[in-house]
Amino acid sequence: MIVKKYKKDSDIRVGVIGYGGAFNMGRGHLQEMRQAGMTPVAACEVDPARLEAARQDFPDIQTYPTVAEMLRKSDVNLVTIITPHNTHAKLALQCLKAGRHVVCEKPLAITTAECDAMIAAAEKSGVVLSTYHNRHWDGSILSAIDHIKKSKRIGDIVRVEARMGGRSQPGDWWRGSRSISGGILYDWGVHLLEYGLQLIDSQIVEVSGFAKSSYWAPQTKWKNDTIEDEASATIRFRNGVCMQLTISSIDSNMKPGTLEITGTEGSYITDVHGYNSGYELRVRNGQSLTIEEGRHRPDEWHRFYQNIADHLTKSTRLIITPEWSRRPIHIIDLAVQSAKKGRALPAKYH
């Protein structure tokens, strides 16, 4: 696919759909894009107060109440979508068909079919589609890659376990709704799967999903639409490696460590950014066991938008491709279907 190339970073005129919210994400994305050399020009938001906040944060920015108006009136080149998960595909398709480059906050979409439609639209329009996988550059996974893939300190990977949660009732905001968020696996689960996919160099063969619902549902405003109490996925890879993902809101005794990687010669346990900044490495040499504890490398989140800018100006290889972003969504999509059908489901590639 031939993508339009810009002479310099500042020629890339960027905007966001969605501004403010719980984490001021619109502001954060525009600041990161500006730090990468791109030029913020547009913000689209249904809340007038948030549009006013955008004008205060970026005095030269153009603001729009609808996506259609922004696409019609603005010369924005690259749009980042920062809205609830179930809106990503519809908004992305609208922008892609209008010839705009698109970055979606993770997850890329909720279903595999949505991802495939978005990929096809990007290819047809000759534009870039990516997902804001900033945690691809978390210090925790960068350190794990150093120890496990580069230095081979635990030998060959046998199993990757990823887990998150505890005992906590889902909140009444939109992430507690299954129809809006996709389900309990679509928030942190997407990040944890993306970590695992960086470590496991193999195609997905099949996915088994398991889920428990209805414990918290009567106590939330979402009732029957409440996200699962707990869900898990077991992923089989062609090279024989197994990955297990569990996200829970009912576990009263979660095991320590967000990622645990078992190898032929040892194990590596780490917590992700924001929870604990260290790792434990256990290496077995005959009857001798060496235990090492260390600190993670610093996060390098700036590399996401810098890579986008470099791709659009210098044709640098795009790291977070839509095909890469599709993989964790396909796993979760299969896990949800598998939990309903009670059997493992095969993975499907283009």
Mean per-residue pLDDT pooled into runs of 10, the chain (350 residues):
82 95 84 98 95 94 97 97 97 98 98 98 97 96 96 97 94 94 97 97 97 96 97 98 98 91 96 73 89 92 97 96 98 98 91
Helix (H, G, I), strand (E, B) or coil at 245: strand
Torsion 292-145-267-151 (CA) sign: negative
Q: Is residue 113 a contact partner of residue 304, using CB atoms and an 8 Å limit? A: no
pLDDT at 256: 85
Closest CA to 119 of 134, 133, 104: 104
- pLDDT of 326 reads 98
Name the segment(s) of the chain with CATH classification 3.30.360.10: 137-299
For 278-303, b/e burial (b = at least 16 CB within 10 A) is: ebbbbbeeeeeeeeeeeebbebebee
Extract the tokens encoding 79.
């749009």
Question: β-pairing, 278-285 with 242-248?
Answer: unpaired
Q: Are 206 and 155 in contact (CB under 8 A)?
A: no
pTM for this model (two decimals): 0.95
In DSSP terms, 104 is beta-bridged to: 81, 131
Q: Specify the residue for token string 């428990």.
A: 212
Residue 278: phi and psi, rounded to 5, are -135, 175
Residue range(s) of every CATH 3.40.50.720 domain in the chain: 9-132+302-316
Residues 6 or more apart whose Cβ sits within 8 Å of residue 342:
none
What is the crossing angle of helices 25-35 and 48-57, to 10°?
Answer: 30
9-132+302-316 fold: Rossmann fold (3.40.50)
What angle is formed at CA 50 by the lines to CA 49 and CA 54, rounded to 5 degrees? Answer: 120
Beta bridge partners of 159: 242, 262
CATH of domain 137-299: 3.30.360.10
Strand partners, 294: 279
Amino acid 35 reads Q
Q: From residue 51, give the alpha-carbon distance in Å to each of 38, 41, 69.
A: 20, 13, 14
CA nearest neighbour of 269 among 143, 127, 183: 143
331/246 Cα distance (integer angstroms): 13
Q: Where are the alpha helices (DSSP H) in the chain?
A: 25-35, 48-57, 67-73, 88-97, 112-125, 139-145, 178-181, 188-199, 303-314, 322-341
Dig out the tokens for 269 from the structure.
Answer: 């346990």
Cα separation, 256 vs 267, in Å, equals 14
Give residue 21's pLDDT: 62
Q: With beta carbons less than 8 A apart as the criterion, state whether 44 and 67 touch.
A: yes
First to last CA, the chain: 16
Helix (H) or strand (E) holding 203: none
Amino acid, single-letter form, for residue 55: R
